[in-house]
Structure 1
Amino acid sequence: MFRKPKIVVIGGGTGLPVILRGLRDQNADVTAVVTVADDGGSSGILRNYINVVPPGDIRNVLVALSELPDLYLDIFQYRFKTSDQFLAGHAIGNLIISALSEMKGGIFDAVQELAEMMQIRGHVFPVANEPLTLNAEFMDGSRLSGESEITKAHKQIKRVWVTPSNDEDGHEAKPVPEVLEAIKNADQIVLGPGSLFTSILPNLMIHDVAKAVCESKAEVIYICNIMTQKGETDNFTDADHVRVLNQHIGHHFIDTVLVNIQPVPDNYIDFQEWNEISQPVGHDFQGLRAQGCRVISSNFLRLRDNGAFHDRELVVSELMNRLHQVHD
């Protein structure tokens, strides 16, 4: 009897939904594990006012895996105009997730309820059932807390870690058990694409999550970013991205890296519109192989709206190829 391959995608930010939308239409059992350490924009305001897990990343992932008609999803994604004062900048979906979190007494049960309402194909698991705070130490020895503060500092990051936001007793951040179960049973674990320090690592900095990923028999695939990110990965090569991941976990745990080698045309990027990015990620294939990685270099590029993104179909096709090669 055919068993759908189990794919766990770990991350946050805008890159994750792109890949999930492609995986949704494959014959696979997809689980998205989403960071809860975002504190910017509408998510941050709601988090501060009503002490809920920031809903923005979760909202985008729910939409990516939903089979509802586009009109319903457009309403869920609608963001109030800045002239609306009281509701300025808030997405309707963020308000719904926050309300359900209060009703259900936590983000995890709220998201499961919403997943059913939104006809999700797959599973959406917030990595923890409480808001987490991202902390960073920079190369100059200084420290900051809060994702938005860390990114705004535009300083080279040495390391990051997470702590429970309501941490009065110094307890360790704990994942929801379903996340660990999904990782344990996965056939493939995908990291990214997304901000290295603020979308991917916050999930892996929960000790039990990192341990589960390292102990899993699944192939761990890292989708390397196409562009470097200001204040996070300036001047990074693909090998630098993997090195940071491995250093945070404590050993070489990335099995395979997907690297885009299609050049981004000069003068195509609108750096005012896409003000978080700075330049294409450099290549260091020797550095990747020295870390025990299988390197899959190909054209994964999609140019649109004067920005450089991953091409959903090309990336998902490669992920499915890897599944077949590993399990055939």
Structure 2
Amino acid sequence: MPAPARRGRRRSRPLRVTALGGGHGLAASLAALRHVTEDLTAVVTVADDGGSSGRLRQEFGVLPPGDLRMALAALCHDSQWGHLWRDVLQHRFPGDGPLAGHSVGNLLIVALWQLLDDPVDGLRVIGELLGSQGRVLPMSLEPLTIEADVHGTDGDGPALVRGQVQVASTTGRVGWVRLVPEDPPANPEAVQAVLEADWVVLGPGSWFTSVCTHLLVPELAHALETTTARRCVTLNLAPGASETAGYAPEQMLEVLSAYAPGLTLDAVVADPSAVDDVDALGRAAAGFGADLVMRQVSYADGTARHHPLRLAAAYADVFAGVTADLRRA
């Protein structure tokens, strides 16, 4: 296992980064990280059960392809060819017929899985078609289901809520999340990517259903806790309107600690616009052994979207060891 690069060490190869998550959050992180390194691996959750992914999963018993598709699209080659195939992958059929709501990419991924009988190899072929800068791996090779204990807004509960879509859209407060089957096997290549990385990046994204799910796969959680790589958590720009509604940024870190008590961090990246109590967040980051890095990583229009170049600059500074806190009074 190669040792991670340390500050001041001359490097003979690109920085090796593994990013974990799912959906739009992971895609945002990948869109930034591709500006920082050429050696990039995405490890993607496989618990989605909604929309096109849910329909294909139910009909064919396959991994839900949607989050994997979004990660591949985020890594497409920066050329006319790459952008064209990215747009093809992301194209969703309109109307109300049998194909309505399906994305071309989801169908193409499932077709390759059926032809090659290998989820990882099928994703590799799509990556070659896109000229992807990096690779995309599922965190497990079997589709998983999310269950959560949810407390009602009136104090009732907890009630059992089942399914990624239901948990992500709940109006109650999520108390604890589980995966079904319990203690699922990890994709060995995903575990290897974590162990061999120089940096591992968690977040942003739906905290319970995209980020914390990786900590519920025992082999992957153990790899995250024991890897010699440095670890960075990227916090969301808004608490969200459903599963983490009302959570302060420091509470998001407390959630990570609850699921992985042995996890240590080196950096926590947060946008000043999303932080009300900088001192509380700083203490929470210090509890993981991490530096709090405050940077504007959002678009200037006020929307809760990570700007790829601003986030890339933050990552570049973090990876280079520049962890000066730029918060302003």
Same fold (TM over 0.5): yes
Indicate the residue corresponding to 2:88 in structure 1.
75
Give the SS at the match of 1:236.
Answer: coil
Check conservation: 1:107, 1:130, Cα contact below 8 A. Answer: no
Code of the residue aligned with 1:112 in structure 2: it is R
Indicate the residue corresponding to 1:181 in structure 2.
192
Give the SS at the match of 2:265.
Answer: coil
Bigger drift between 37-46 and 106-115 goes to 106-115
Higher strand proportion (structure 1 or 2):
1
> CA 1:90–1:257 in structure 2 vs 1: closer, same or farther (change >3 Å)?
same
Alignment deviations for residues 282-308 of structure 1 (CA, whole Å, 9 cap, x no partner): 43335424523311112122145x732
Alignment deviations for residues 116-147 of structure 1 (CA, whole Å, 9 cap, x no partner): 23221111111111111111122432212210
Indicate the residue corresponding to 1:241 in structure 2.
252
Distance 2:142 2:247 in 1: 32
Check conservation: 2:89, 2:104, Cα contact below 8 A. Answer: yes
Give the SS at the match of 2:23.
Answer: coil
After superposition, the CA RMSD in angstroms is: 1.9
Distance 1:296 1:95 in 2: 40
1:133 pairs, out of 138, 145, 152, with 145
Q: 1:199-214 residue pairs with structure 2 within 5 A? A: 199-214=210-225
Code of the residue aligned with 2:136 in structure 1: it is V
Alignment deviations for residues 215-261 of structure 1 (CA, whole Å, 9 cap, x no partner): 01122111000101122111211110000011011234233211100
TM-score by length of 1: 0.86
1:260 pairs, out of 271, 274, 286, with 271
Code of the residue aligned with 2:85 in structure 1: it is Y
2:292 pairs, out of 272, 291, 295, with 295
Distance 2:86 2:245 in 1: 35
Indicate the residue corresponding to 1:273 in structure 2.
none
Distance 1:199 1:79 in 2: 22
Indicate the residue corresponding to 1:218 in structure 2.
229
Indicate the residue corresponding to 1:66 in structure 2.
76
Distance 1:149 1:64 in 2: 26
Indicate the residue corresponding to 1:93 in structure 2.
105
Check conservation: 1:225, 1:281, Cα contact below 8 A. Answer: no
Gaps of 5+ in 1: 165-170, 264-279
Indicate the residue corresponding to 2:67 in structure 1.
57
Identity of aligned residues (%): 31
Kindly tell me the number of residue pairs found equivalent between the two proteins.
301
Check conservation: 1:80, 1:90, Cα contact below 8 A. Answer: yes
Gaps of 5+ in 2: 1-10, 152-156, 323-329
Distance 1:289 1:112 in 2: 36
Give the SS at the match of 2:49.
Answer: coil
TM-score by length of 2: 0.86
Code of the residue aligned with 1:308 in structure 2: it is A
Give the SS at the match of 1:321.
Answer: helix
Indicate the residue corresponding to 1:311 in structure 2.
307
Indicate the residue corresponding to 1:172 in structure 2.
183
Code of the residue aligned with 1:176 in structure 2: it is N
Indicate the residue corresponding to 2:5 in structure 1.
none
Indicate the residue corresponding to 2:166 in structure 1.
149
Check conservation: 2:30, 2:71, Cα contact below 8 A. Answer: yes
Bigger drift between 36-45 and 110-119 goes to 110-119
Bigger drift between 44-53 and 290-299 goes to 290-299
Give 1:84 shift: 4.3
Give 1:97 shift: 0.8
Check conservation: 2:18, 2:201, Cα contact below 8 A. Answer: yes
| Residue 285 (structure 1) aligned with residue 285 (structure 2) | no
2:26 pairs, out of 16, 19, 23, with 16
> CA 1:98–1:282 in structure 2 vs 1: closer, same or farther (change >3 Å)?
farther
Check conservation: 2:253, 2:284, Cα contact below 8 A. Answer: yes
Code of the residue aligned with 2:304 in structure 1: it is A
